[in-house]
Amino acid sequence: MTKLPSIGQPVSRLEGRQKVTGSAKYAGEYNVSDLLYGYVVNSTITKGKITAIDTSAVKALKGVEAIFTHENRPSTAWFDLQYADMDAPPGTVFKPLHDNKIKFNGQPIALVVAQDFETARYAATLIKFEYEEEAFITGLVTNLDKAHEPKKGLATMLKPPPPPPVGDFEKAYSCAPVKVAAQYTHATEHHNPLEMYASTVVYEGKGKLTIYDKTQGTINSQLFVANVFGLHYKDVRVLSPFVGGGFGSGLRPQYQLFMAVMASLELKHNVRVTLDRSQMFTFGHRPQTVQNLRFAADAEGNVTAMNHSGIGETSSYEDYAEILTSWSHMLYPAKNTLFEYDLVSLDLPTPIDMRAPGGVSGMHAIECMMDELAYELKMDPLELRLKNYSETDPSTGKPYTSKALKQCYLEAAEKFGWDKRNPQPGSMQRGNKLVGYGMATGIWDAYQFPARVQVILTKEGKLILHNATTDIGTGTMTVMTQVAADEIGLPLEDITFDYGDSKKPFSMFQGGSAITSSTGVAIVAVVKELKKKIIKKAKGIKGSPFSDIKDEDIIFKDGAIALRSNPELALSFKDIMTLIKETELKAKKMAGPDVLKLKNYSKATHSASFVEVEVDKELGTITVTRAVTAVAAGRIINPKTARSQVLGSMIWGISKALHEETILDENLGKYMNANLGEYHIPVHADIHDLDVIFADEKDELINELGIKGVGEIGLVAIPAAIANAIYHATGKRINSLPIHFDALL
């Protein structure tokens, strides 16, 4: 049995056994009876119209049940609004099979449904489409002249435009004694969770559906399906107990869901649609970006002026925005700032948030610029950060609810051995390798969304919690159980956290590193409510020793209530339930951030990463031999799962800096490496010594639990730290990610 308090203990994942024995079921693995298989056909042109469709070859095929195209699709909702999911950017949402227009290469244009997977897949290759092609643009760098200000909409609330200028940047920059400027470019990236998108739709009859969907938001998918197909919300149930990774790609319902539901309703049948790996490159990505920065400092190293102008890509139909250029002023107190952010509309699918969206791309540029500034000042890069350290948020003038970034810098530097660094580029060597040390800062928001939780105390004295959230591999189920355990005083074994089901009380989608605080705070609130009920019931029992005791003199411990002054005098939950003759006690509660209090503060998680690289002198190959990341994210509920989150994001950082890139052929308007053989992510042999430190950060203001979330912060500082280490090793500034060996030759 686990000991309490459970918070702070490295509890192993409670679903671990299911994951290591193969019994964990993912969306495309519910083998319900009479299942039909759908396979999607995608456009091979980038822009234009479908002029003719020939399905004759398919119709002759045994086992094919139906073919859906824009010509014969059943009627669905007409209005954009009904297609808009919780994460839809301003604009007109993409509606699969809506009409004959092609907006991007790989656009889903047909669905074949057959009795088995192989037939569906084969049939999908036999449909012939004729197109009328139109001119298109897909490259960002070649179309910067078409940049426009992002449209505003609901999503702007979570992603505000950069703050207005402060002081006079141009003047301050032109007279500054020390200044640097550079341009940074980033390649397209695709999330590529290892599980491919899948929906298994169970047709229950009478307009009722049960859907196993790969998503980061069960309620988001539920609302989407109900709105688009005109069903009652309560008739659509979306389940996602296990999700094989998301990284942001599941923040919006993907097209396999639309396809599977459409076919199921039309054929009155159970239907599954699973995407293949190449189709995983057809519905959203981390956008290409181009960023221009100019930073200036006085002779002592105080940053005086910062300009960060960024351009991102979006689609022709929605204005997807990131927070790309607003970060530097949340860290460094320059008196003159100028931040801009624009978009270029391209004939590609709308980008979708990908782990630390905007933050990791923006901070790569900012922290490389700071490194250049340090060299210009002949100052140690860490010293420059400390010199410009601000306890408050310079961009708002407000204090942070907590900020243990300084500890991050110092503890990580110490562990890494930063003091052994010779600042001279190219000065450190090991055999035929150049060795470089680099460091960078990370910052990410500390979001909290409203969430509702229901709790039930059973007659056995056990606790069941209900919430619609998913667990995309973050450890949510384990962590939520720990939070409840401490609040009620029950061992983990007696608590069930039931999740991944749209029928359960509200949760936002799982994104922005927000679920632990969102659902966690709601759990604390609802369990408190339940405790009141338990006390009231216990007091009402005839001859109860608690009748005259004040509530605050009663404690919850080991599955019982007890007298604070004499814990021996206790009554177990089980006994209470027996005595009151009830089968269960329930409470339900909504909780959200304390907006009134928090409006006087800024909130953020911080990190510092220190990286060692080796660069082969002849071959230019780059290896990250060591990396240390210190994270300040408030209280850490579970150091084991939190550490995995940070390690995973550090590997994402290595990948962004050195490996992954979706290669776009601008002449074809098409991604050329849409498979896992050519879309490189780090393999085990690429990963060496990684270390994680959690700074001791007490935050009494952010929320009841003092937590901020760790899903993204570990990624933010790594790419810049690697680029800076490469400079230190080679004397070359490579500002375009990913950095491949050829850039160093």
CB of 529 to another protein, least distance (A): 32
AA identity, residue 497: F
Q: How many residues would you count in the chain? A: 745
* Residue 357 is a binding residue for another protein (CB under 8 A): no
Query: Applying CB under 8 A, does 20 fall inside the site for another protein?
Result: yes
Give how far the C-alpha of residue 647 lies from the chain's centroid of Cα atoms, to the nearest Å.
15
Q: Is the peptide bond before 161 cis (omega within 30 degrees of 0)?
A: no
Angle between helices 639-654 and 718-730 (to 10 degrees): 50
- Residue with smallest beta-carbon separation from ligand FES: 194
Work out how close the CB of 113 gets to ligand FES at its nearest, in angstroms, rounded to a whole number: 23
CB under 5 to 8 A by kind: which of another protein, ligand FES, none does 26 bind?
another protein
Q: Which is nearer to ligand FES, 90 or 245 (CB)?
A: 245
Of 489, 462, 496, nearest in space to 570 by CA = 489
Q: Among ligand FES, another protein, none, what binds residue 669 when CB lies within 5 to 8 Å by partner kind?
A: none
Q: What residue type is 607 in one-letter code?
A: S
> Which of 47, 643, 708, 728 contacts another protein by CB under 8 A?
643
Round to the nearest angstrom and report the end-to-end CA distance of the chain. 58
Instruction: By CB under 8 A, name the one of 4, 9, 25, 231 that touches another protein.
Output: 25
Under the binding rule (CB under 8 A), the answer on residue 62 touching another protein is yes
Binding of another protein at residue 19 (CB under 8 A)? yes
How far is residue 560's CA from residue 534's CA, in Å, rounded to a whole number? 10
Is the separation of the CB atoms in 395 and 335 below 8 Å? no
Q: Does 24 bind another protein (CB under 8 A)?
A: yes
Residue 683 as a binder of another protein (CB under 8 A): the answer is yes
Task: Work out which of 583, 677, 742, 745 binds another protein, going by CB under 8 A.
Answer: 677
- Min CB(24)–another protein separation in Å: 6
Whichever of 488 and 646 has its CB closer to another protein, that residue is 646
Cis peptide bond N-terminal to 5, omega within 30: yes
Binding mask 465-484 for another protein (x = CB under 8 A): -------xxxx---------
Q: What is the C-alpha separation between 40 and 121, in angstroms, rounded?
A: 8
- Long-range contacts formed by 114-117: CB under 8 A, 24+ apart: 114/36, 114/37, 114/39, 114/61, 114/63, 114/64, 114/65, 115/36, 115/37, 115/63, 115/64, 115/65, 116/37, 116/63, 117/37, 117/39, 117/274
Question: Judged by CB under 8 A, does residue 26 bind another protein?
Answer: yes
Q: Which stretch binds another protein (CB under 8 A): 17-25, 95-103, 260-268, 579-587?
A: 17-25
Q: State the nearest-atom distance from the C-beta of 688 to another protein, in Å.
A: 9
Is residue 612 part of the contact set for another protein (CB under 8 A)?
A: no
State the residues that interact with ligand FES by CB under 6 A.
194, 245, 473
Stretch of 83-91, 361-369, 432-440, 677-685 contacting another protein, by CB under 8 A: 677-685
Minimum gap (Å) between residue 641 Cβ and another protein:
7
690 lines the binding site for another protein (CB under 8 A): yes
Q: Which is nearer to another protein, 17 or 430 (CB)?
A: 17
Q: Which listed option, another protein, ligand FES, none, makes contact with residue 172 (CB within 5 to 8 Å by class)?
A: none
| Residue selected from 173, 247, 317, 375 as contacting another protein according to rule CB under 8 A | 247
By CB under 8 A, is residue 675 in contact with another protein? yes
Our measurement of the distance from residue 89's CA atom to the centroid of its chain's CA atoms, rounded to an integer in Å, reads 16
Give yes or no for a contact between 438 and 635, defined as CB atoms under 8 angstroms apart: no
Contacted entry of another protein, ligand FES, none for residue 598, CB cut-off 5 to 8 Å set by kind: none
> x/- site string to another protein, residues 580 to 599, per CB under 8 A?
--------------------
Determine which residue in the list 13, 47, 421, 635 makes contact with another protein, applying CB under 8 A.
13
Task: Select from 530, 548, 528 the least CA-distant residue to 539.
Answer: 548
669: its two tokens: 């308007």
Query: Helices (H), strands (E): how many in the chain?
Result: 18, 31
Q: DSSP 3-state assignment of 584?
A: strand
How far is 512 from 448, CA to CA, in rounded Å? 9
Catalytic residue numbers read: 712
Q: How far apart are CA 425 and CA 564, in angstroms?
A: 64
CB of 13 to another protein, least distance (A): 7
Binding mask 108-137 for another protein (x = CB under 8 A): --------xxx---x---------------
Binding partner selected for residue 183 from another protein, ligand FES, none, CB under the kind-specific 5 to 8 Å limit = none
Q: What residues contact 436, with CB distance under 8 A and at least 6 apart?
A: 425, 428, 612, 613, 615, 724, 725, 726, 727, 728, 729, 730
Contact 350, 87 (CB under 8 A): no
Near another protein by CB under 8 A, which window of 242-250, 299-307, 628-636, 702-710?
242-250
401 versus 645: smaller Cβ distance to ligand FES? 645
Question: Considering only residues 276, 575, 594, 704, which one is a binding residue for another protein as defined by CB under 8 A?
Answer: 276
Task: Compute the C-alpha angle 360/361/367, nearest 5°.
Answer: 80
Residue with tokens 């498979």: 675
Residue 231 within binding range of another protein, rule CB under 8 A = no
Residue 415 to residue 418: CA distance in whole angstroms:
8
By beta-carbon proximity to another protein, the closer residue of 247 and 295 is: 247
Q: What is the smallest separation between the CB atom of 412 and ligand FES, expressed in angstroms?
A: 26
Work out the angle between the directed axes of helices 573-580 and 515-540 (0-180°, nearest 10). 50
* 339 near another protein (CB under 8 A): no
Q: Which stretch binds another protein (CB under 8 A): 72-80, 272-280, 575-583, 602-610?
A: 272-280
For every residue of 311-323, DSSP letters joined together read EEEE-SSB-----
Stretch that binds another protein, among 138-146, 189-197, 410-418, 499-507 (CB under 8 A): 189-197
What distance in Å separates the CA atoms of residue 207 and residue 229, rounded to the nearest whole number? 10
Q: Which stretch binds another protein (CB under 8 A): 14-22, 326-334, 483-491, 518-526?
A: 14-22
Site string for another protein, 646-665 (x = CB under 8 A): -xxxxxx-------------
Q: How far apart are CA 593 and CA 13, in angstroms?
A: 27
Binding site for another protein (CB under 8 A): 12-13, 15-26, 28-29, 31, 61-62, 116-118, 122, 192-196, 242-245, 247, 274, 276-277, 472-475, 640-641, 643-645, 647-652, 675-677, 681-687, 690
